[in-house]
Structure 1
Amino acid sequence: MRGSGGEQRAPDVRRAPALMGAVLTALGTMGAVVALGWVLGRRRVLGDRAALVLARVVFAVAAPALLLSTVAHADLHVLVSRTAVVTWTCTATVAALAAVVLRLVRHRSAADVTVGTLASSYVNAGNIGLPLAVYLLDDPVAVVPTLLFQLLVLAPVAFTTLDAHAARECARAAGTPAVAVPTGLRVTAVVRRTLTNPIIVGTLTGLVLAALPWSLPEVVYEPFRLVGASAAPLALLTFGMSLAVPRTPGGAAPRGDLALVVGLRSVVHPVLTWGVGTALGLPAPALLAVVAMAALPTAQNVLVYAMQYRHGEALARDAGLLTTILCVPVLLVVAAALG
């Protein structure tokens, strides 16, 4: 990817059938892996705690390796393009809407608000977004603004909030009395938690490598690519196994929360992106690209994060399922209207 930045070149509009074929192929492949996870979970082939263990493997090992190798090869010049401005502005707006409504209207805890916000704004840019970018523009760099905003902004803010919430819960469970903590110590604690989070460490390391004026030998990245290649299938298996868990009265996502997240993810985000992109005068190919990226479903990694912090698991699971199902008709509309 390094070395190809700026505005995207014009695509061949005759690629629309190939584009939708790529979408259907990607979704079908993901569905098969999720189905396998469901069978494994239903039959308890890997044991009762397998989904949680796999989620931790993805969170602590596979995802950081994937992010390091991906971001290290990203073209950082794309961050100053108009497509990046549209992507970042609209994603931040959707995330802010989700956070405000979940906190002030739905009265959810900070951790549940964070997971709901991620489910509304954190998209499956790798498994579906990458093939879409290839068929839209013959250039995978189209997915980079979305990936980098998620990895460099959404993820650090979310993990900082979740880590702080987890620390408060641990203190409360231990019966530790609340004491006033100096601002300097609070900032130090936040920085320490941030810099020890595996996802953020992998992302920041990749960013530093991408900014270097020289490149490391590709052989250095091979172990990270090898381990990182397991992130997507393991996340999908975890997703399928979570669907196999019998629903309890409290095991379903609150309908209001789910409706909000799905509406923001599948309708508001692509429509908002189309409006902002049109207002900023994006050319038709670039407009199609950013709207298609905004129409992607919730990433399965959101469920992995929810399971890691034990909050919002039902919402992340159900939002991932529904937005993935809705992804096909939404992308068909986008391709028909803008392609």
Structure 2
Amino acid sequence: LHVLASRSALATWISTAVVAVVALVVLRFVLRRDPGDVTIGTLASSYVNAGNLGLALAVFLLGDPVAAVPTLLFQLLVLAPVAFTVLDAHRSTAHDADPDIVTAHDTDPDVATEDGATSRAPSDGTAAAPSPTRARMALAVRATVRRTLTNPIIVGTLAGLVLAALPWELPDVVYGPFELVGATAAPLALLTFGMSLAVPAADRERAPRPDLVLAVVLRSLVHPVLAALVATALGLDGQARLAVVAMAALPTAQNVLVYAIQYGRGQGLARDAGLVTTLLCLPVLLLVTAVL
């Protein structure tokens, strides 16, 4: 937990946040993408493969897996929940805006609520019933909170923080089942990635060229340089600075593709950004290591 209060963590969070904001501004106000595509594009530009590649790199290059912790936690506790919120809200808005979608509010005065109960507007006019739009917004908010708090990635991260704060260790036998399940994460992510590449080119979604170029440039070039500048400004040098920059040079995470598939937005961009930045990762990391 002490790593979270370090200058290394601050450098990681500042550089990642700046990259995410730059991607968001360009995608939304220059390329004029809708919120769903902006969110996936922002993740493709700022969400790195700190789990599968980052931990291994931290052990191999730095001799300490803790170097990947600030990046992992910022992504899982900040970027992911914000992305889920925006994607859920956008999906709800798209549902409301589609004239072909008929809901209970449009056809029945008994408005179905989330738990299956109904509410009818009073016949004596003494109180106004909530508007259909407001009711749908309330449902969307509750669904977003529920999705965030039940997301296994976020729950796992929070559980890890709680266990790290406890003054005692759980028995090894308790961790056994979790280790078995966790061991499938990397293979399943790679299988998902390979399946997305195996789809014939004529049938799969194409990534918009400007969006892909933006994600690749931010991911492979801008982020490492920015991380080096921020780390230097905060007084980091040697292994500490190398750790921050190496984590910033990692490719786009496969989680982004999983999120894109889940929400049906930006799958082509997530897939292609993951592929291109992974190919560029080796030369970029070699350059970072040689310079720092």
Q: Calculate the TM-score normalised by the size of structure 2.
A: 0.84
Q: CA offset at residue 130 of structure 1?
A: 1.4
**DSSP-derived class of the 1:180 partner:** helix
CA distance in 1, matches of 2:211, 2:66: 33
Cα-to-partner distance string for 1:260-287 (whole Å, 9 max, x where unaligned): 0000000000000011111111022111
Note if 1:83 corresponds to 2:8. yes
1:116 Cα offset (Å): 0.8
The one-letter code of the counterpart of 1:220 is: V
Residue 102 of structure 1 aligns to a residue in which SS? helix
Which residue is equivalent to 1:148? 73
Select between 128-137 and 272-281 the one with higher mean Cα deviation: 128-137
- Which stretch has the larger CA shift, 152-161 or 166-175? 166-175
Q: 1:102 aligns with which of 20, 24, 27?
A: 27
Counterpart code for 2:42: T
How far apart are 1:162 and its partner, in Å? 1.7
Q: Deviations over 1:209-245 (max 9, x none)?
A: 2222322222112111101111111111111111111
Aligned residues: 263
The aligned residue for residue 225 of structure 2 is 271
Do 1:115 and 1:312's aligned partners in 2 also have CA atoms closer than 8 Å? yes
1:328 equivalenced with 2:273 (yes/no): no
Q: Which residue of 2 aligns with 1:22?
A: none
**Bigger RCO (CA 8 Å, 6+ sep):** 1
CA distance in 1, matches of 2:229, 2:210: 26
> Structure 1 230/189 Cα, relative in aligned 2: closer, same or farther at 3 Å?
closer
Give the stretch that moved more between structures: 137-146 or 124-133: 124-133
The unaligned stretches of length 5 or more in structure 2 are: 107-131
Q: Greater CA deviation, 177-186 or 304-313?
A: 177-186
Q: Is 1:245 aligned to 2:199, yes or no?
A: yes
Match of 1:200 among 145, 149, 154: 154
Instruction: Answer yes or no: is 1:227 the counterpart of 2:227.
Output: no
Say what the alpha-carbon RMSD is for the aligned residues. Answer: 2.1
Paired-residue identity, %: 70
Q: Is the counterpart of residue 158 in structure 1 residue 44 in structure 2? A: no
1:296 corresponds, among 235, 250, 262, to: 250
Give the 3-state SS of the residue equivalent to 1:278 in structure 2.
helix
- Code of the residue aligned with 2:217 in structure 1: it is G
- Cα offset for 1:156? 1.1
**CA 1:170–1:213 in structure 2 vs 1: closer, same or farther (change >3 Å)?**
farther
1: CA distance, partners of 2:173 / 2:239: 35
- Conserved? CA contact 2:92–2:140, under 8 Å: no
What is the alpha-carbon distance in structure 2 between the residues aligned to residue 184 and residue 206 of structure 1?
31
Deviates more, 1:83-92 or 1:98-107: 98-107
| Matches of 1:252 and 1:90, distance apart in 2 | 29
Q: Separation in 1 of the partners of 2:288 and 2:58? A: 14
Q: Can you list the C-alpha shifts for 1:51-76, whole angstroms capped at 9, x where unaligned?
A: xxxxxxxxxxxxxxxxxxxxxxxxx1
Q: How far 1:138 sits from its partner (Å)?
A: 1.5
Quote how far apart the aligned CAs of 1:197 are.
2.6
Structure 1 residues 195 and 116: CA distance shift in structure 2, 3 A: same
Larger of the two Rg values belongs to structure: 2
- Call closer, same or farther: CA 1:196–1:128 in 2, change over 3 Å: closer
2:68 aligned partner, one-letter code: V
Q: Return the offset for 1:196.
A: 2.7
Instruction: Give the letter aligned to residue 102 of structure 2.
Output: G
Q: Which amino acid aligns with 1:213?
A: P
Change (3 A) 1:182 1:320: closer
The aligned counterpart of 2:101 is 174
Aligned to 1:138: 63
- 3-state DSSP class of the match of 2:133? coil
Match of 1:191 among 145, 154, 157: 145
Measure the CA separation in 1 of the matches of 2:165 and 2:91.
Answer: 33
How far apart are residue 250 of structure 1 and its match? 7.3
